[in-house]
Chain A
Amino acid sequence: MLEIKNLQVKLEDEDKEILKGVDLTVEPGRVHAIMGPNGSGKSTLSYVLAGREGYTVTGGTVELDGHDLLDMEPEERAAAGLFLAFQYPVEIPGVGNMTFLRTALNAQRKAHGLEEMSAGEFLKLVRAKAKTLKIDAEMLKRPVNVGFSGGEKKRNEILQMAVLEPTMCILDETDSGLDVDAMRLVADGVNALRDAGRGFVVITHYQRLLDHIKPDVVHIMADGRIVKTGGPELALEVEKNGYAGILAEVA
Chain B
Amino acid sequence: MAAPMRKDEGRAAATEARIAALDLPKGGFSGAARADALARFRAMGLPGRRDEYWKYTDPAPLNAVAAPDAAVFAADEAPIFGAVDRLTLVFVDGVFDADASDDPALAGVEITRLAEAARSDIHWAQELYGVLEARGQSPVARPFAALNTAAATDGVLIRVSGAAAKPVHLVYRHGAPTSDAILHHCVKVEPGAELTLLESGPAAARFNKVLEVDIAEGGRFHHVRAQGRDHERRAITHVFARVAEGALFKSFTLTANGEMTRNECVIEIAGDDAVAHVAGAALGDGRTRKFHHDDTVFVTHDAVGGESRQVFKKVLKNGATGVFQGKILVKPGAQKTDGYQISQALLLDEDSQFLAKPELEIYADDVQCSHGSTTGAIDETALFYLRSRGVPREEATALLILSFLADAIAEIEDERLAADIVARLEAWLARRKR
- Chain A residues within CB distance 8 Å of chain B: 50-53, 73-75, 77-79, 83-84, 86, 89-90, 92-95, 99-100, 103-105, 107-108, 111, 143, 160, 164
Instruction: Show 16 residue pairs from A and B whose CB-CB distance is below 8 angstroms, ordered by the A residue.
Output: A53-B380, A73-B393, A74-B384, A74-B387, A75-B396, A78-B387, A78-B389, A78-B390, A89-B385, A92-B382, A92-B399, A99-B399, A103-B395, A105-B390, A143-B403, A160-B389
Pick the most buried of A83, A89, A103: most chain B CB atoms within 10 A of its CB: A103
Given contacts A94-B410, A95-B406, 13 further A-B pairs with CB under 8 A are A50-B384, A53-B384, A74-B388, A75-B388, A75-B390, A75-B393, A90-B379, A92-B400, A93-B407, A95-B400, A100-B389, A107-B395, A164-B390
Q: Are A95 and B402 in contact (CB under 8 A)?
A: yes
Contact between A73 and B387 (Cβ–Cβ < 8 Å)? yes
Minimum CB distance partner of A109 in chain B: B390
Please indicate the chain A residues that have their CB under 8 angstroms from the CB of B372 in the complex.
none
- Tell me whether A94 and B393 are in contact (CB under 8 A): no
Partner of B399, one of A50, A86, A89, A100: A100
Bound complex: CA A75 to CA B385 (Å) = 10
Q: Spell out B's residues near A (CB within 8 Å).
A: 379-382, 384-393, 395-396, 399-400, 402-407, 409-410
Across-interface contacts of B403 in A (CB, < 8 A): 92-95, 143
Chain B hits for A51, CB < 8 A: 384, 387-388
By a CB distance below 8 angstroms, the chain B residues around A95 are 399-400, 402-403, 406
Report whether B402 and A94 are in contact in the complex, using a CB–CB cutoff of 8 Å: yes
Say how far A2's CB is from chain B's closest CB, in angstroms. Answer: 16
Which A residues lie within 8 Å of B409 (CB)?
A: 94
Inter-chain CA distance A107–B398, complex, in Å, is 14
**Closest B residue to A104 using CB positions:** B389
- Give the complex CA separation of A86 and B402 in angstroms: 23
Known A-B contacts A73-B393, A103-B395, A164-B390; the reply to A90 vs B405 at CB < 8 A is no
Give the chain A neighbours of B402 by CB distance below 8 A. 94-95
Query: Interface centre among A89, A90, A160, by most B CB within 10 Å?
Result: A90
**B387 touches which of A75, A100, A160 (Cβ 8 Å):** A75
Chain A residues, CB < 8 A from B406: 93-95, 143
